[in-house]
Amino acid sequence: MNRTFTAFLAMLATGALWATPSLAQTSSGAPNATTTIDGLQLPPPPPQFGGTINEQALQSTPWWPPRVVPPDGAPNVLLIITDDAGFGVPSTFGGVIPTETMDKLAQEGLRFTNIHSTALCSPTRAALITGRNHHSAGFGVISEQSTGYPGYNSIIAKDKATIGRILLDNGYNTSWFGKNHNTPAFQASQSGPFDQWPTGMGFEYFYGFVGGDANQWQPNLFRNTTQIYPFDGDPEWNLITGMADDAIDWITRMHQTAPSKPFFVKYAPGATHAPHHPTKEWVEKIAAMNLFDDGYEALRQTIFDNQKKMGLVPEDAKLAPWPADEIKPWEELTDTEKKLFIRQVEIFAAYAAYTDHEIGRVIEAIEDIGEIDNTLIFYINGDNGTSAEGGPLGTPNEVAFFNGLNMIPAETQMKWYDVWGTEETYNHMSAGWSWAFDTPFDWFKQNASRLGGIRQNMVVSWPARITDKGGKRDQFMHVIDVVPTILEVTGIKAPQEVDGIQQAPIEGTSFAYAFEAANADEPSRHKTQYFEMFGQWALYHEGWLLSTKVNRAPWDVTGPANPDPLNNQVLQLYDLTKDMNQTTDIADAHPDKVNELKAMFIEEAKKYQVFPMDASVQARIVAPRPNITAGRKEFVYTRPMTGLPQGDSPLLLNTSYTITAELDVPEGGAEGMILTSGGRFAGYGLYLKDSKPVFVWNLVDLERIKWEGSDPLTPGKHTVEFDFKYDGLGIGTLAYNNSSGIGQAGTGTLKVDGKDVDTKAMKNTLPVILQWDEAFDIGSDTLTGVNDADYKPPFPLTAKLEKLTITMDRPELSEADKKKLQEAMHKASD
């Protein structure tokens, strides 16, 4: 053993390498040293080296930067938000659907009856994670409808750091499970950028889907930024259970690895957004309860009576009249409609109960690791009111709604009766049930001027702090209040600067004061709040609510938009201190109050980036965006590629296009997918079946138009081409509130080696979207297929793909076209 190594062992034995008399007297600088920070600058500036440096290590003092930890006693945080669930859904707030987990939390904690959303999903979620209003956070609408204005571009700006980022830099483990509808649709591909994905916004770990909804049996699922397929080979797999399993695993691993480090979990299941996909077990449980046999008006009355018994609604409260002009009364339905509608709602209810049960498993895991007492749990029921996007009749395929097909007859829907809620449907229920589930309020998701669209409820549990177990809180709140509440109870300050960028102020108000029993009846500290969605708007101020009269049902997305939603509407006024569920309009008796509150709304709208206000719906879905395909007319691919999301792939709607595939067919023939986009519920595919070329358009699972070659391709090189000539004027017509240019007819021709082999006309094409939780795939088909009769995914291509080219010739309006459309608009308005 050499002399140097012997000396090293001696130093190791005595601790001379790191232990010095000066360091032993202080915790700062030790390898396990910790510190809290003031949090005003994130990340905190690097600390000054606290040791000493001389020429020799034996004469120097080592020093380690202390690890940042939260203030003493800072709790774990579990932030749960469900989807498309109105006030009357959970049993905790008078509903008939059993939500035992929420019930139990309410018994141990507090029920909050007066928290509000934005009336739409990703806007609410942006507000929830930033503590700023949805327009302030760039989410005036969902990302798929984003436009080039600060309040609507679906980009959470760098001056609005999320709660994930704040807690991460203050020493928390942070994660996000389930729905992520806050990544811009045009930044959702593997090309990135990833700064607007959860992992780029302060959430160290992400397990979920990117977009508004997902097939729960075969979701477009990511772990961090990598697509995963845990359901392959397991037909019983369901995301509601899958994400609970993954969350339990993550929480347990974090605790075992660093027991003293608190965690923050955002838990956002896809339920109860369409498609409603519960397991068979839960469908059977709910069906056996016979909850809905008397119809939706009876359900509404039952929920209302329950709410009165529970003290959630005053005894003298009344319900608004049933909207018979919009939704047919139950007694007027046919026997087929009744049978179908009951099936629809049983699946919805099973989905809600199943989700609540799986949330309970996550909470049990926190109990198992001994952390439940110091875990602050927010369980928010819904990011908006119950969805009516299935229309009055419901639908077996939600994608049909987004393409303007919202009245599929019950007799047609009965084709899917026995498989409703399975992987064969992308289902939604009749709006009559949605109206009932928003009891005691009226209207739905999307309706920002009605409490049925914006009034949620919530349970908060924190055993170590909340002692008023089973208490109720009625103070006015909004989802922007959650972030400042978390910051207050953790003792962490809102940062003034993050990554060198000055931060915009938090716009919410903490409701931590309401955790104390002594403050149960304290007036709300959140005094004023605006609401706006699709040109419908409202203003709350100290008990008053000014709101616009509903002028569009949520399922009516294709009509012309109100050109002046600020001024061209009927204004209604309500005193919520006397009329808690917005049933008696008193605007005529208080014209001065109407004018006062409208002026306040305008000031709030200016302050929070609400202008320019836009009442359009469908037009914004197809509006141009800065995605990676913008301006391109040709796309060339030379090798297989899967998983490109719809928002970042070539859009073949409302345009002429040509798809050309250069193939080398092996001896014995070939099969497999050449190109597909979308899936079982809307999309297209070019593939080989028994060596014959096939092109299919799947029109929302109601019709499939198929072009097919009569002869198999011989071994060797071939060119397969699909050429489509579109007859319409395209999306340019939407600038004039005219939809005649979208979804129009066209003619497709399938060619092999330059020769026509099949030509068919399409009377209509899809106007708006394909199935948006599916991908653009080359060389195989991920998730569901566009034509189950011909193949099952992944259906890999066994021929060699040498080159795939897509060219588009999108219609552009001539000046004459524009003049003609303008004249038609003027004539229609006369």
| Rounded CA separation 141/532 (Å) | 10
* pLDDT for 640: 96
β-pairing verdict for 634-637 and 641-645:
unpaired
* pLDDT for 517: 97
For 727-770, strand residue ranges (E) read: 746-752, 755-762
- CA diameter of the chain: 102
The three-state secondary structure class of 42 is strand
| Rounded CA separation 415/224 (Å) | 39
Q: How many CB atoms lie within 10 A of CB 694?
A: 23
* pLDDT for 20: 34
Q: What pTM does this model have?
A: 0.94
Closest CA to 382 of 77, 773, 80, 179: 80
| Residue-wise burial string across 221-257, b where 16 or more C-beta atoms lie within 10 A, e elsewhere | bbeebeeeeebeeeeebbbbbbbbebbbebbeebbee
Phi first, then psi, for residue 535 (nearest 5°) are: 80, -5
> Which pair of tokens denotes residue 288?
């056996």
Closest CA to 608 of 145, 140, 117: 140
> Which pair of tokens denotes residue 678?
């979308």
Question: CA distances (Å), 143 to each of 139, 183, 235, 500, 775, in order?
Answer: 7, 8, 31, 27, 17
Question: With a cut of 50, which residues of the chain have pLDDT below it?
Answer: 1, 4-27, 828-829
* pLDDT for 766: 95
* pLDDT for 454: 98
Element (H, E) at 459: strand 455-461
| Rounded CA separation 748/95 (Å) | 51
* pLDDT for 813: 75
Residue 429 and residue 437 in contact, taking contact as beta carbons nearer than 8 Å: no
| Rounded CA separation 140/124 (Å) | 9
* pLDDT for 24: 30
Contacts of 523 (CB under 8 A, 6+ apart): 475
β-pairing verdict for 775-778 and 672-679:
antiparallel
* pLDDT for 739: 55
Question: CA distances (Å), 321 to each of 101, 386, 576, 639, in order?
Answer: 33, 18, 18, 60
* pLDDT for 735: 62
Residue 301's Cβ-side half-sphere holds a number of Cα atoms within 13 Å equal to: 6
| Rounded CA separation 482/233 (Å) | 40
442-456 residue pLDDT tens: 999 999 999 999 999
> Which pair of tokens denotes residue 696?
């299919």
Ramachandran quadrant class, 734 (left: phi over 0; alpha: psi -120 to 50; beta: rest): alpha
For 517-564, strand residue ranges (E) read: 528-533, 536-541, 544-548
Instruction: Quickly list DSSP for 256-320.
Output: HH-TTS-EEEEEE--TTSSS----HHHHHHHHTT--STT-HHHHHHHHHHHHHHTTSS-TT--PP
Instruction: Quickly list DSSP for 211-240.
Output: SS---SSS--EEETTEEE-TTTT-TT--HH
> Which pair of tokens denotes residue 300?
């509404």
Closest CA to 718 of 709, 705, 727: 709
* pLDDT for 408: 95
Alpha-carbon dihedral angle through residues 300, 106, 181, 539, given to the nearest 10 degrees:
60
Phi first, then psi, for residue 308 (nearest 5°) are: -65, -40
Residue 691 and residue 389 in contact, taking contact as beta carbons nearer than 8 Å: no
| Rounded CA separation 747/725 (Å) | 5
